[in-house]
Amino acid sequence: MNAATTPGKGAATRELILEHAYELARQDGLEGLSIGALALGVGMSKSGVFAHFGSREDLQLALLDATGKRFFDFVMAPAIKQPRGLQRVRTLVERWFEWARIHQSGCVLVSAVAEYDGRDDSPLRTRVKQQQSSWRSEMARAIRLAMEVGDLRADLDPDLLAFEIYALMLGLHHDAGLFGFEQASRHAHAAIDRLFASYQP
């Protein structure tokens, strides 16, 4: 409607493209994502899809951003609605479990870390690094609040606990993909419970 707000209606198809790209990247990762296959999926021409991003790398970056936002909305947003403390941290973990359950056939973010953990810097790697760093900070913040409230021991290292949780969720993702979600979830849940118990004040 407004000229200053929406530049055009083609932004909707951009969303559609990213939606399909998300499904493709879940199976073959960001590096396995090809514009030809993507165009076939959305029922457009290759050049039509390409024009929306200008380059494959920009498409990958856009998809990475969209996925990061999706993950944040799915996991962190519900947690923030909880009162600060252990309950918020537990909600965060619980939503993460749900995310892993839905994405047991492959998560774009998890594979992205593995794909760009090399030494040489690329725009993709930089973005992945930013995302992971920011997410770890969010976790550490929630943990710190739980310490202040008194739900967790005051002498713990928030970054360490954030690492421990993150590692267990990585284990969940990997085991879910290989051995099925049920078994992986049992192990991860037990490990998480043991972890929180060990940090009780």
Partner DNA sequence: GAATAAAACGAACGATCGTGCTATTTTGCC
Partner DNA sequence: GGCAAAATAGCACGATCGTTCGTTTTATTC
Which parts of this chain interact with its own copies (CB under 8 A)?
27-29, 31-32, 105-106, 110-111, 113-115, 117-119, 128-129, 132-133, 157, 159-160, 163-164, 166-168, 170-179, 187-188, 190-191, 194, 198
Q: Least CB distance from residue 110 to DNA, whole Å?
A: 21
Residue in the block written with tokens 């909880």: 82
**Contact status, residue 49 vs residue 39, Cβ threshold 8 Å:** yes
Q: b/e for 56-73, b at 16 or more Cβ within 10 A?
A: eeebbbbbbebbbeebee
Q: Considering the complex, state which of residue 42 and residue 149 has its C-beta at the smaller distance from DNA.
A: 42
Q: Least CB distance from residue 134 to its own copies, whole Å?
A: 12
Q: Considering the complex, state which of residue 34 and residue 198 has its C-beta at the smaller distance from DNA.
A: 34
By the criterion CB under 7 A, which residues form the site for DNA? 1-3, 7-11, 13, 33-37, 39, 43-52, 54-57
Q: Least CB distance from residue 112 to DNA, whole Å?
A: 16
Q: Which does 126 bind (CB under 5 to 8 A by kind): DNA, its own copies, none?
A: none
Q: Which does 121 bind (CB under 5 to 8 A by kind): its own copies, DNA, none?
A: none
- Neighbour count for residue 130 (Cβ, 10 Å): 12
What lies within 8 Å, CB to CB, of 134 at 6+ separation is none
Among 23, 161, 176, residue whose Cα is nearest residue 98: 176
Cα distance between residue 78 and residue 143, in whole Å: 16
